[in-house]
Amino acid sequence: MDAHLPLEDNRVLIVAPSGNDALNTEHVLRAEAVATRICQDIEQVCAEAHYGAGALLLTQEALTNHAVRHLLALLEAQPPWSDIPLILLMSGYEPDSPSFFSIKNLGNSCAVTVLERPLRVVTLVSAVKASLRARGRQYQVRDLLKLREVILGELRERAATLEASQHELMGAKEKISRHAHELEQTVAERTAKLRETIAQLEAFSYSISHDMRGPLRAMQQYAQILLEDFKGDLKPDAAEYLSRIIRGAHRMDRLIQDVLTYSRAARVAMPIAAVDLDKLVHDIVQQYPTFQPPTADVQVDGPLPRVLGNEASLTQCISNLIGNAVKFVRPGEKPKVRVFPGSINGNIQICIKDNGIGIAPENQQRIFNIFERVHHDREYEGTGIGLAIVKKTVERMGGDVGVESAVGRGSTFWIKLPAVKEQI
Amino acid sequence: MTILLVEDSPDDVFFMQRALKLTGATLSVQVAEDGEVAIEYLSGQGAFANRLEFPLPRVILLDLRMPRTPGFEVLKWLREREEFDCIPVVVFTSSREDSDMRKAYALGANSFMVKSGDAAELGAMAKMVVDYWLKFNEVPRPCIEASA
């Protein structure tokens, strides 16, 4: 079996039917290191050409009409890069002989070199080498074309991959935008729902403050009027009971108001700005007679720094805390309260220290929960909401609240808030 | 001197009438039990056609939350009419909501007071209203003559 070797690309296929022409030619060419193959007829040439041919060499005797037809068919079937050199060894032919027409015909289809016999070895060798050289160029073109095909194939593959990934990308993009749209919709729906809930809550607390407090006001005032307008007619017990009705109604009213304040602290907008704490605390102390001598001593160790917070809410928090500080003292003792600043990690701490009854460790967290109380109303009255309001409000301002205390040794409540970055 | 009390709660009407009486001032307190009646009274329609019997008030005490026509609508109706320009309106409500206060002032209320549950405090408020709006507050003379 003939394997197709690169060697065969450069061999010369020889057809020389008469005498020793074939062997002689082969001998001469091999001496010049040219590969050769002797073929018996044109059919064999066509078969061998399939495995590679650097050039074809035919003698005049081989150039029959039959052979020319086959050659033309072979040349016709060549790929575009191929132009097989054809060397014809003629001996004195005439322009009107059949061979002449054959040569003309073939010359239109390939590169024909005609050598006339007798010829010198050097002529034959140089003609064959020139043909092989030209053929070598064709092979280079063939290889380049092959390489081009490989590269094109690779490019096509990459283009396909690219297209696929682009397609995938588009799909993903579409998916993302669909998700984003869905998310937007969900957010819009939730926001609408939330707004509705807030509106309902507002309507609810509005209703509480108006409709529920109305009857309470009525109870309290009718009892007061009874006490006032029918003083002489009332037995002492009756007067006492009326006072209790008044106290009950009053307490209920305060409870409702505190719950409303708490729910407002949890939901209203709380714009944050720089607050002058020093002025705020002094204003509070001046505003409440219970924070002043002779009832209490509230000392402010100023100047207190400026903090980031909401002024109205902060006023409420600090009055609640000072209010607690003066309230929870041993009976008969005069409240002594000190307000002073501190700082932790760039945050401002406002401390409110009292000389009160103190808080047991197990109650120190509990007291910040809504409705949690440590004492009975007859000892220290209150609704159990004040500190919950403080906690909720301070947290909404981005701060923190806490207490350090020991039973019988007073308490120090503190509020921690972001400091104002002062410009120099 | 006439005060028009626009109030739907009979209890609150009773408390205010008592508080006004305790001020010792000589007053005629007219009561409209909702906004619609108040508008009828002020425009002298229907049962209120007789201005001698139902004179224009020197001050209006106006509740906000009332059935049918709420206080804000009365206020709006009133301030759209030139002839009532000099009748001060004191809103007297149980609401302490900022939004209610803003709206009341925007619509032309002259004062905003929150109902007290304490009889003594209510008495002080009534005294203040009478002293301020009927004694010290000045309005053009023709307005005083138009009212009684």
Write out pLDDT tens, residues A35-86. 999 999 999 999 998 888 999 999 988 888 888 889 889 988 899 899 999 9
Residues of A whose CB is below 8 A from B94: 209-210, 213-214, 217
User: Per-residue pLDDT for A5 more than 70?
Assistant: no
Distance from CA of B115 to the nearest CA of A (A): 9
User: Per-residue pLDDT for A7 more than 70?
Assistant: no
Instruction: Find, in chain A, the residue whose alpha carbon is nearest to that of B18.
Output: A225
> What is the interface size between A and B, counted as CB pairs within 8 Å?
50
Please tell me the predicted confidence (pLDDT) of residue A423. 59
* CA–CA–CA angle B1, B31, B105 (5° rounding): 80
Stretch (H or E) spanning B89: strand B89-93
Please tell me the predicted confidence (pLDDT) of residue B35. 94
Mean pLDDT of the residues in chain A: 88
User: Rounded CA gap, A44 and A39, in Å?
Assistant: 6
Q: Phi and psi at residue A409, in whole multiples of 5°?
A: -125, 25
Instruction: Find, in chain A, the residue whose alpha carbon is nearest to that of B10.
Output: A218
- Which token pair is B32? 């409209």
The parts of chain B modelled with pLDDT lower than 50 are none
With contact defined as beta carbons under 8 Å apart, do B72 and B18 qualify? no
User: Per-residue pLDDT for A285 more than 70?
Assistant: yes
Burial class (CB in 10 A: 0-12, 13-18, 19+), A188: exposed
Average pLDDT over every residue of A305-332: 90
pTM: 0.57
Q: How many CB atoms are located within 10 Å of the residue A201 CB?
A: 13
Instruction: Find, in chain B, the residue whose alpha carbon is nearest to that of A215.
Output: B11
Interchain proximity A221–B118, CB inside 8 Å: yes
Q: Quickly state the pLDDT bin for A379 (edges 50, 70, 90).
A: confident
Distance from CA of B119 to the nearest CA of A (A): 5
Please tell me the predicted confidence (pLDDT) of residue B64. 93
Interchain proximity B117–A210, CB inside 8 Å: no
Q: Quickly state the pLDDT bin for A2 (edges 50, 70, 90).
A: very low
Instruction: Find, in chain B, the residue whose alpha carbon is nearest to that of A247.
Output: B118
Distance from CA of A397 to the nearest CA of B (A): 20
Pairing of strands A347-354, A411-418: antiparallel
User: Per-residue pLDDT for A320 more than 80?
Assistant: yes
Complex ipTM > 0.90:
no
Pairing of strands A12-15, A55-59: parallel
Please tell me the predicted confidence (pLDDT) of residue A110. 85
Strands (E) across A269-384 are located at 273-276, 297-300, 306-309, 336-344, 347-354
User: Rounded CA gap, B130 and B110, in Å?
Assistant: 14
Least confident of A106-110, A351-355, A375-379: A375-379
User: Per-residue pLDDT for A401 more than 80?
Assistant: yes
User: Per-residue pLDDT for A119 more than 60?
Assistant: yes
Interchain proximity A224–B120, CB inside 8 Å: yes
Distance from CA of A290 to the nearest CA of B (A): 19
Least confident of A7-16, A166-175, B11-20: A7-16
Please tell me the predicted confidence (pLDDT) of residue A123. 92
